Amino acid sequence: MDTARVYVRGVRLRLAQLYGGLVLYGVSSSLLVLAGLGLDPWDVFHQGLARHTSLAIGTWAILVGVVVLLLWIPLRQRPGIGTLSNVVLVGGTMDLVLGHVHAPHALAVRVACLVCGVFLNGVATGAYIGAGLGPGPRDGLMTGFAARGHSIRVVRTGIEVVVLATGWLLGGTVGVGTVLYALAIGPLAHVFVPLFARGRPMPEHALEAV
């Protein structure tokens, strides 16, 4: 009975960590949008699509996530509950926040939003990956290629350059925030993923995909 209770408690904690991390990821991504100083490559793409349609950036994040998840099929990747939750919850949180919070005008506030957004994104990445319940659809796509012998750094760079360039051409915001995100997210993930994993073994290439 004690073993069962410990197991159930562990699962509950991992689920709480997963969903807390995904909500925080959506909030942190919203802060980058509100800052207006540059987004991460995928959100540049999502924002670019949103500028040409009636759909919000978070909705596009969900739709693109579904399409990316379909690309897992030929790679024989298996989604976890964290993967499916990631598709819906991050974009949904973004639309909820951005639908109720107006973008600031003062540069100091925008810079604060940018710095907080990047830092909290690193914390959120550590939380949801560290829960060990499945990678995000975009992370899983990269690790899927790596499992088939491709360099994950080359694959990641190639994919992100394409989505960034496409998003920029569509009108997505590229700027100092994009550069800061690119420089900071890897080191932040390397700090927070092991911290949140609490000794749980992480899938191979999990950190390289961030």
CB 179 within 8 A of CB 32: no
The predicted structure's pLDDT at residue 203 = 58
Segment 85-105 shows an average pLDDT of: 97
CA–CA dist 30, 107 (Å, integer): 17
How confident is the model over 153-169, as a mean pLDDT?
93
In 36-135, which residue ranges form alpha helices assigned H by DSSP? 41-51, 57-70, 72-75, 81-98, 107-130
DSSP state of 53: S
**Shortest CA distance to 124 belongs to which of 90, 147, 175, 156?**
90
Q: Indicate whether this model's pTM tops 0.85.
A: yes
CB 126 within 8 A of CB 192: yes
Query: Which pLDDT score is estimated for 201?
Result: 63
Ramachandran class of 51: left when φ > 0, alpha when ψ lies in -120 to 50, beta otherwise? alpha
CB-CB contact of 163 with 45 (8 Å): yes
For residue 6, pLDDT over 90 is answered with no
Average confidence (pLDDT) over 4-8: 79
Residue 202 is predicted with a pLDDT of: 60
Work out whether the CA dihedral 20, 22, 23, 29 comes out positive or negative. Answer: positive
Nearest to 95 by CA among 40, 26, 48: 26
* Residues 35-71: tens digit of each pLDDT: 999 999 999 999 999 999 999 999 999 999 999 999 9
- Statement: residue 200 has pLDDT above 90: no
Q: Which residue has the tokens 């810079």?
A: 111
In angstroms, rounded to a whole number, what is the distance separating the alpha carbons of residues 41 and 38? 9
Asked if pLDDT for residue 80 goes beyond 80, the answer is yes
Cβ distance 174 to 38 under 8 Å?
yes
Q: Which residues of 16-45 are buried (b: 16+ CB within 10 A; e: fewer)?
A: ebbbebbbbbbbbbbbbbbbbbbbbbbbbb
For residues 170 and 64, the answer to whether their CB atoms sit within 8 Å is no
The confidence band for 76, taking pLDDT boundaries of 50, 70 and 90, is confident
Q: Return d(Cα 114, Cα 199) in angstroms, integer.
A: 31
